[in-house]
Structure 1
Amino acid sequence: MKQLFTMLLLCGMAFGVNAQEVAKKDTPEEQVLDTTVVLTLDHTIKSLYDVISGESGEKRNWKQFKFLFHPNAKLIPGGRDDFGDYKVLYMDPKAYIKQSGPWLEEHGFFEKEIHRKTEMFGNMAHVFSTYESFHSEADEESFMRGINSIQLFNDSKRWWIINIFWSQETQINPIPKSYLP
Protein backbone atom coordinates (compact mmCIF):
# COMPACT_ATOMS: atom_id res chain seq x y z
CA MET A 1 0.00 0.00 0.00
CA LYS A 2 2.83 2.38 0.84
CA GLN A 3 4.31 1.88 -2.66
CA LEU A 4 0.97 2.62 -4.31
CA PHE A 5 0.53 5.89 -2.44
CA THR A 6 4.13 6.89 -3.12
CA MET A 7 3.49 6.41 -6.83
CA LEU A 8 0.18 8.27 -6.59
CA LEU A 9 1.85 11.19 -4.89
CA LEU A 10 4.48 11.41 -7.56
CA CYS A 11 2.12 11.13 -10.45
CA GLY A 12 -0.48 13.52 -9.37
CA MET A 13 -0.79 16.73 -11.21
CA ALA A 14 -0.62 17.52 -14.82
CA PHE A 15 0.88 20.87 -15.55
CA GLY A 16 1.43 22.60 -18.90
CA VAL A 17 3.48 25.60 -19.79
CA ASN A 18 2.45 28.90 -18.26
CA ALA A 19 2.37 31.92 -20.55
CA GLN A 20 4.44 33.78 -17.99
CA GLU A 21 7.34 31.43 -17.28
CA VAL A 22 8.01 31.17 -13.55
CA ALA A 23 11.70 31.26 -12.74
CA LYS A 24 12.98 28.23 -10.85
CA LYS A 25 15.78 29.10 -8.44
CA ASP A 26 17.84 27.07 -6.01
CA THR A 27 16.65 28.39 -2.65
CA PRO A 28 13.20 29.49 -1.45
CA GLU A 29 14.48 33.01 -0.81
CA GLU A 30 15.57 33.31 -4.45
CA GLN A 31 12.40 31.85 -5.95
CA VAL A 32 10.34 34.30 -7.96
CA LEU A 33 6.65 34.56 -7.08
CA ASP A 34 4.37 35.44 -9.98
CA THR A 35 1.19 36.76 -8.39
CA THR A 36 -0.56 37.23 -11.75
CA VAL A 37 -1.00 33.49 -12.43
CA VAL A 38 -4.02 33.30 -10.11
CA LEU A 39 -5.99 36.06 -11.84
CA THR A 40 -7.63 33.66 -14.30
CA LEU A 41 -8.77 30.08 -13.94
CA ASP A 42 -6.79 29.01 -17.00
CA HIS A 43 -3.51 30.52 -15.77
CA THR A 44 -4.01 28.99 -12.32
CA ILE A 45 -4.34 25.50 -13.80
CA LYS A 46 -1.44 26.03 -16.21
CA SER A 47 0.77 27.31 -13.39
CA LEU A 48 -0.10 24.26 -11.29
CA TYR A 49 1.18 21.94 -14.03
CA ASP A 50 4.19 24.10 -14.76
CA VAL A 51 5.44 24.41 -11.20
CA ILE A 52 5.78 20.66 -10.54
CA SER A 53 7.27 19.89 -13.95
CA GLY A 54 10.99 19.88 -14.61
CA GLU A 55 13.94 17.85 -15.78
CA SER A 56 15.97 15.63 -13.48
CA GLY A 57 18.07 17.81 -11.17
CA GLU A 58 15.92 20.89 -11.73
CA LYS A 59 14.63 22.57 -8.56
CA ARG A 60 10.93 23.34 -8.40
CA ASN A 61 9.52 26.68 -7.34
CA TRP A 62 7.72 25.46 -4.22
CA LYS A 63 7.01 29.04 -3.14
CA GLN A 64 4.90 29.44 -6.30
CA PHE A 65 3.28 26.03 -5.74
CA LYS A 66 2.13 26.97 -2.21
CA PHE A 67 0.85 30.35 -3.47
CA LEU A 68 -1.70 28.59 -5.71
CA PHE A 69 -3.46 26.88 -2.80
CA HIS A 70 -5.96 28.14 -0.23
CA PRO A 71 -4.51 27.86 3.31
CA ASN A 72 -6.85 24.92 4.07
CA ALA A 73 -6.38 23.15 0.72
CA LYS A 74 -5.89 19.41 0.39
CA LEU A 75 -4.14 17.24 -2.18
CA ILE A 76 -5.78 13.82 -2.29
CA PRO A 77 -4.37 10.91 -4.30
CA GLY A 78 -6.72 7.96 -4.63
CA GLY A 79 -6.30 4.42 -5.84
CA ARG A 80 -6.21 0.77 -4.84
CA ASP A 81 -3.89 -0.61 -2.20
CA ASP A 82 -2.05 -3.96 -2.38
CA PHE A 83 -5.25 -5.73 -1.29
CA GLY A 84 -7.41 -4.14 -3.99
CA ASP A 85 -9.23 -1.82 -1.62
CA TYR A 86 -9.79 1.81 -2.67
CA LYS A 87 -7.94 4.30 -0.45
CA VAL A 88 -7.24 8.03 -0.34
CA LEU A 89 -4.46 9.99 1.33
CA TYR A 90 -5.01 13.59 2.52
CA MET A 91 -2.10 16.05 2.41
CA ASP A 92 -1.64 19.78 2.60
CA PRO A 93 0.73 21.43 0.10
CA LYS A 94 3.67 21.28 2.55
CA ALA A 95 3.24 17.51 3.03
CA TYR A 96 3.06 17.03 -0.75
CA ILE A 97 6.32 18.96 -1.19
CA LYS A 98 8.03 16.94 1.54
CA GLN A 99 6.86 13.57 0.23
CA SER A 100 7.00 14.12 -3.54
CA GLY A 101 9.43 17.00 -4.07
CA PRO A 102 12.70 15.03 -3.79
CA TRP A 103 11.46 12.32 -6.17
CA LEU A 104 10.23 14.84 -8.75
CA GLU A 105 13.58 16.64 -8.75
CA GLU A 106 15.67 13.46 -8.78
CA HIS A 107 13.84 11.57 -11.52
CA GLY A 108 12.47 14.33 -13.71
CA PHE A 109 8.74 14.74 -14.03
CA PHE A 110 6.48 16.52 -16.50
CA GLU A 111 2.73 16.42 -16.47
CA LYS A 112 0.84 17.75 -19.43
CA GLU A 113 -2.85 18.44 -19.56
CA ILE A 114 -4.39 16.70 -22.59
CA HIS A 115 -8.07 17.45 -21.97
CA ARG A 116 -10.16 19.63 -19.68
CA LYS A 117 -13.82 19.88 -18.67
CA THR A 118 -14.77 22.90 -16.58
CA GLU A 119 -18.02 23.60 -14.75
CA MET A 120 -18.68 26.84 -12.91
CA PHE A 121 -21.30 28.21 -10.58
CA GLY A 122 -20.85 31.69 -9.12
CA ASN A 123 -17.38 31.92 -7.65
CA MET A 124 -16.63 28.19 -7.63
CA ALA A 125 -15.28 25.97 -10.35
CA HIS A 126 -14.70 22.27 -10.85
CA VAL A 127 -12.11 21.18 -13.41
CA PHE A 128 -11.64 17.61 -14.59
CA SER A 129 -8.13 17.75 -16.04
CA THR A 130 -6.82 14.69 -17.87
CA TYR A 131 -3.04 14.40 -17.79
CA GLU A 132 -0.11 12.45 -19.16
CA SER A 133 3.13 12.12 -17.20
CA PHE A 134 6.68 12.01 -18.58
CA HIS A 135 10.15 11.80 -17.03
CA SER A 136 11.55 14.34 -19.51
CA GLU A 137 10.07 16.94 -21.78
CA ALA A 138 11.82 15.11 -24.65
CA ASP A 139 9.95 11.83 -23.97
CA GLU A 140 7.59 10.86 -26.75
CA GLU A 141 5.50 8.40 -24.72
CA SER A 142 4.00 8.96 -21.30
CA PHE A 143 4.61 6.52 -18.46
CA MET A 144 1.25 7.29 -16.84
CA ARG A 145 -2.10 9.00 -17.37
CA GLY A 146 -4.90 9.99 -15.05
CA ILE A 147 -7.46 12.61 -14.08
CA ASN A 148 -7.14 15.50 -11.63
CA SER A 149 -10.41 16.68 -10.09
CA ILE A 150 -9.59 20.27 -9.14
CA GLN A 151 -11.91 22.46 -7.09
CA LEU A 152 -11.27 26.20 -7.14
CA PHE A 153 -12.67 29.29 -5.41
CA ASN A 154 -12.58 32.91 -6.56
CA ASP A 155 -12.66 35.47 -3.73
CA SER A 156 -13.16 38.31 -6.29
CA LYS A 157 -9.42 39.04 -6.23
CA ARG A 158 -7.90 35.73 -7.35
CA TRP A 159 -8.45 32.01 -7.86
CA TRP A 160 -7.53 29.60 -5.05
CA ILE A 161 -7.10 25.86 -5.45
CA ILE A 162 -9.25 24.35 -2.70
CA ASN A 163 -8.64 20.65 -3.40
CA ILE A 164 -7.07 18.35 -5.93
CA PHE A 165 -8.30 14.75 -5.90
CA TRP A 166 -6.65 12.50 -8.47
CA SER A 167 -6.41 8.96 -9.68
CA GLN A 168 -4.22 7.36 -12.28
CA GLU A 169 -5.46 5.22 -15.12
CA THR A 170 -5.23 1.44 -14.71
CA GLN A 171 -6.24 -1.55 -16.81
CA ILE A 172 -9.40 -1.97 -14.76
CA ASN A 173 -10.02 1.80 -14.58
CA PRO A 174 -9.29 3.25 -18.04
CA ILE A 175 -9.92 6.92 -18.76
CA PRO A 176 -13.37 7.29 -20.39
CA LYS A 177 -13.35 8.56 -23.97
CA SER A 178 -15.32 11.64 -22.87
CA TYR A 179 -12.23 12.77 -20.89
CA LEU A 180 -9.74 12.29 -23.72
CA PRO A 181 -8.91 14.64 -26.60
Structure 2
Amino acid sequence: MRRLLLAVLACNPLFATASTTPAAIVAAFWKASSHAPGVPADADRLQQLFRSDALVVGGRYQDGRPVFKSITANEFIAAQRQARPYGFYECEVVREVRQYDRFATVYSVVETRRDPTAAKADYAGVNSIQLYRDETGWKIVSLYYHVEKPGAPIPLDGGKTGACLEA
Protein backbone atom coordinates (compact mmCIF):
# COMPACT_ATOMS: atom_id res chain seq x y z
CA MET A 1 0.00 0.00 0.00
CA ARG A 2 2.82 2.40 0.90
CA ARG A 3 4.50 1.78 -2.47
CA LEU A 4 1.25 2.55 -4.26
CA LEU A 5 0.85 5.82 -2.36
CA LEU A 6 4.44 6.85 -3.12
CA ALA A 7 3.95 6.01 -6.81
CA VAL A 8 0.76 8.10 -6.97
CA LEU A 9 2.47 11.05 -5.26
CA ALA A 10 5.51 10.85 -7.54
CA CYS A 11 3.32 10.92 -10.67
CA ASN A 12 1.14 13.80 -9.52
CA PRO A 13 2.53 17.08 -10.96
CA LEU A 14 1.59 18.98 -7.81
CA PHE A 15 3.94 16.79 -5.80
CA ALA A 16 6.54 16.16 -8.49
CA THR A 17 8.14 19.60 -8.06
CA ALA A 18 9.67 18.51 -4.75
CA SER A 19 12.31 16.45 -6.54
CA THR A 20 13.01 18.72 -9.51
CA THR A 21 15.90 21.13 -9.95
CA PRO A 22 15.90 24.88 -10.56
CA ALA A 23 16.96 24.18 -14.17
CA ALA A 24 13.99 21.82 -14.64
CA ILE A 25 11.57 24.40 -13.23
CA VAL A 26 12.89 27.07 -15.62
CA ALA A 27 12.72 24.67 -18.58
CA ALA A 28 9.12 23.84 -17.59
CA PHE A 29 8.36 27.58 -17.45
CA TRP A 30 9.54 28.14 -21.03
CA LYS A 31 7.63 25.09 -22.22
CA ALA A 32 4.40 26.14 -20.43
CA SER A 33 4.71 29.68 -21.85
CA SER A 34 4.94 28.44 -25.44
CA HIS A 35 1.79 27.82 -27.46
CA ALA A 36 0.42 27.39 -30.96
CA PRO A 37 -1.76 29.99 -32.70
CA GLY A 38 -5.26 30.21 -31.20
CA VAL A 39 -4.23 28.26 -28.09
CA PRO A 40 -3.41 29.77 -24.68
CA ALA A 41 -0.25 29.03 -22.72
CA ASP A 42 -0.44 26.25 -20.11
CA ALA A 43 -1.58 28.59 -17.33
CA ASP A 44 -2.32 25.76 -14.90
CA ARG A 45 1.27 24.57 -15.17
CA LEU A 46 2.54 28.15 -14.81
CA GLN A 47 0.47 28.48 -11.62
CA GLN A 48 2.27 25.44 -10.20
CA LEU A 49 5.71 26.88 -11.00
CA PHE A 50 5.29 30.26 -9.27
CA ARG A 51 4.89 31.10 -5.60
CA SER A 52 1.58 32.82 -4.98
CA ASP A 53 3.40 36.04 -4.00
CA ALA A 54 5.82 36.06 -6.96
CA LEU A 55 6.52 39.02 -9.25
CA VAL A 56 7.18 39.32 -12.98
CA VAL A 57 9.09 42.45 -13.95
CA GLY A 58 10.80 43.49 -17.10
CA GLY A 59 12.26 46.00 -19.44
CA ARG A 60 12.12 46.60 -23.13
CA TYR A 61 12.53 49.44 -25.59
CA GLN A 62 9.57 51.17 -27.18
CA ASP A 63 10.25 53.86 -29.78
CA GLY A 64 13.88 53.89 -28.64
CA ARG A 65 13.00 54.59 -25.01
CA PRO A 66 13.33 52.14 -22.10
CA VAL A 67 10.05 50.90 -20.59
CA PHE A 68 9.82 49.04 -17.27
CA LYS A 69 6.80 47.02 -16.13
CA SER A 70 6.04 45.17 -12.89
CA ILE A 71 3.08 42.84 -12.27
CA THR A 72 2.24 40.01 -9.93
CA ALA A 73 2.70 36.46 -11.16
CA ASN A 74 -1.06 35.99 -10.77
CA GLU A 75 -1.67 38.88 -13.20
CA PHE A 76 0.91 37.41 -15.59
CA ILE A 77 -0.70 33.96 -15.42
CA ALA A 78 -4.21 35.37 -15.92
CA ALA A 79 -3.01 37.03 -19.14
CA GLN A 80 -1.56 33.70 -20.32
CA ARG A 81 -5.02 32.08 -20.13
CA GLN A 82 -6.07 34.11 -23.19
CA ALA A 83 -5.63 32.49 -26.60
CA ARG A 84 -3.77 34.63 -29.11
CA PRO A 85 -4.06 34.51 -32.89
CA TYR A 86 -0.31 33.92 -33.28
CA GLY A 87 2.07 31.28 -32.00
CA PHE A 88 4.53 32.03 -29.23
CA TYR A 89 7.50 29.69 -28.95
CA GLU A 90 10.26 30.17 -26.39
CA CYS A 91 13.68 28.64 -27.11
CA GLU A 92 16.16 28.84 -24.22
CA VAL A 93 19.68 28.98 -25.71
CA VAL A 94 21.77 29.84 -22.62
CA ARG A 95 21.25 28.84 -18.99
CA GLU A 96 23.47 29.38 -15.97
CA VAL A 97 22.30 28.13 -12.57
CA ARG A 98 23.72 29.28 -9.25
CA GLN A 99 22.40 27.63 -6.12
CA TYR A 100 22.93 27.85 -2.39
CA ASP A 101 20.78 25.93 0.09
CA ARG A 102 17.14 26.90 -0.62
CA PHE A 103 18.00 29.77 -2.99
CA ALA A 104 18.73 29.58 -6.70
CA THR A 105 19.09 32.08 -9.48
CA VAL A 106 18.99 31.20 -13.16
CA TYR A 107 20.39 33.41 -15.92
CA SER A 108 18.57 32.47 -19.10
CA VAL A 109 18.75 33.76 -22.66
CA VAL A 110 15.63 33.01 -24.66
CA GLU A 111 14.73 33.48 -28.30
CA THR A 112 11.07 33.95 -29.17
CA ARG A 113 9.48 32.97 -32.46
CA ARG A 114 5.91 33.10 -33.73
CA ASP A 115 6.79 30.23 -36.08
CA PRO A 116 8.89 27.53 -34.36
CA THR A 117 10.56 26.61 -37.67
CA ALA A 118 11.74 30.17 -38.42
CA ALA A 119 15.51 30.45 -38.74
CA LYS A 120 15.59 33.89 -37.13
CA ALA A 121 13.98 34.74 -33.80
CA ASP A 122 11.39 37.52 -33.71
CA TYR A 123 13.21 38.80 -30.63
CA ALA A 124 15.46 37.63 -27.81
CA GLY A 125 15.67 38.43 -24.14
CA VAL A 126 17.81 37.90 -21.10
CA ASN A 127 16.13 36.69 -17.93
CA SER A 128 17.01 36.46 -14.27
CA ILE A 129 14.81 33.96 -12.45
CA GLN A 130 14.98 33.59 -8.67
CA LEU A 131 13.68 30.44 -7.02
CA TYR A 132 13.09 29.28 -3.46
CA ARG A 133 12.74 25.67 -2.30
CA ASP A 134 10.08 25.18 0.35
CA GLU A 135 8.58 21.92 1.64
CA THR A 136 6.78 21.38 -1.69
CA GLY A 137 9.82 21.99 -3.90
CA TRP A 138 11.33 24.73 -6.03
CA LYS A 139 9.08 27.66 -6.95
CA ILE A 140 9.74 30.84 -8.92
CA VAL A 141 9.89 33.87 -6.59
CA SER A 142 10.60 36.45 -9.27
CA LEU A 143 11.22 36.69 -12.97
CA TYR A 144 13.04 39.70 -14.42
CA TYR A 145 13.20 39.83 -18.19
CA HIS A 146 14.90 42.33 -20.45
CA VAL A 147 14.16 42.26 -24.17
CA GLU A 148 17.21 42.66 -26.38
CA LYS A 149 18.05 46.25 -27.25
CA PRO A 150 18.07 46.90 -31.00
CA GLY A 151 21.66 47.04 -32.21
CA ALA A 152 23.06 45.49 -29.02
CA PRO A 153 22.80 41.69 -29.28
CA ILE A 154 22.82 39.60 -26.11
CA PRO A 155 26.08 37.60 -25.82
CA LEU A 156 25.36 33.87 -26.13
CA ASP A 157 28.51 32.79 -24.27
CA GLY A 158 28.70 29.38 -25.94
CA GLY A 159 24.98 29.09 -26.71
CA LYS A 160 23.83 28.80 -30.30
CA THR A 161 20.87 30.56 -31.84
CA GLY A 162 18.01 28.11 -32.50
CA ALA A 163 19.63 25.35 -30.41
CA CYS A 164 17.07 24.98 -27.62
CA LEU A 165 18.23 23.60 -24.29
CA GLU A 166 16.44 20.84 -22.42
CA ALA A 167 15.92 20.55 -18.65
Structure with bigger strand share is 2
User: Given the alignment of the two structures, is residue 78 of structure 1 paired with residue 59 of structure 2, yes or no?
Assistant: yes
- Root-mean-square deviation (CA, aligned residues, Å) is 2.3
Equivalent pairs counted in the alignment come to: 147
Amino acid at match of 2:23: D
Amino acid at match of 1:58: V
Pair 1:138–1:144, CA change in 2 (3 A): same
Amino acid at match of 2:95: R
Larger radius of gyration: 2
Task: Give the match for residue 74 of structure 2.
Answer: 94
Quote how far apart the aligned CAs of 1:118 are: 1.2
TM normalised by structure 2 equals: 0.76
CA distance in 2, matches of 1:50, 1:146: 16
Instruction: Note the residue ranges of structure 2 that are not aligned, 5 or more in a row.
Output: 1-11, 161-167
Task: Give the match for residue 142 of structure 1.
Answer: 121
Task: Give the match for residue 14 of structure 1.
Answer: none
Pair 1:106–1:94, CA change in 2 (3 A): farther
Select 2:94's aligned residue among 107, 115, 127: 115
CA contact (8 A) 2:93 2:156 kept: no
Quote how far apart the aligned CAs of 1:105 are: 3.0
Amino acid at match of 1:167: H
TM normalised by structure 1 equals: 0.71
Task: Give the match for residue 158 of structure 1.
Answer: 137
Quote how far apart the aligned CAs of 1:179 are: 7.1
Question: What does the per-residue CA deviation read over 1:94-153, in whole Å, with 9 as the maximum and x for residues that have no partner?
Answer: 322344553x63211000100111111221011100011011223232111111110001
Question: What does the per-residue CA deviation read over 1:23-68, in whole Å, with 9 as the maximum and x for residues that have no partner?
Answer: xxxxxxxxxx722246322221111011111110123221111111
- What is the percentage of aligned positions where both structures have the same residue? 21
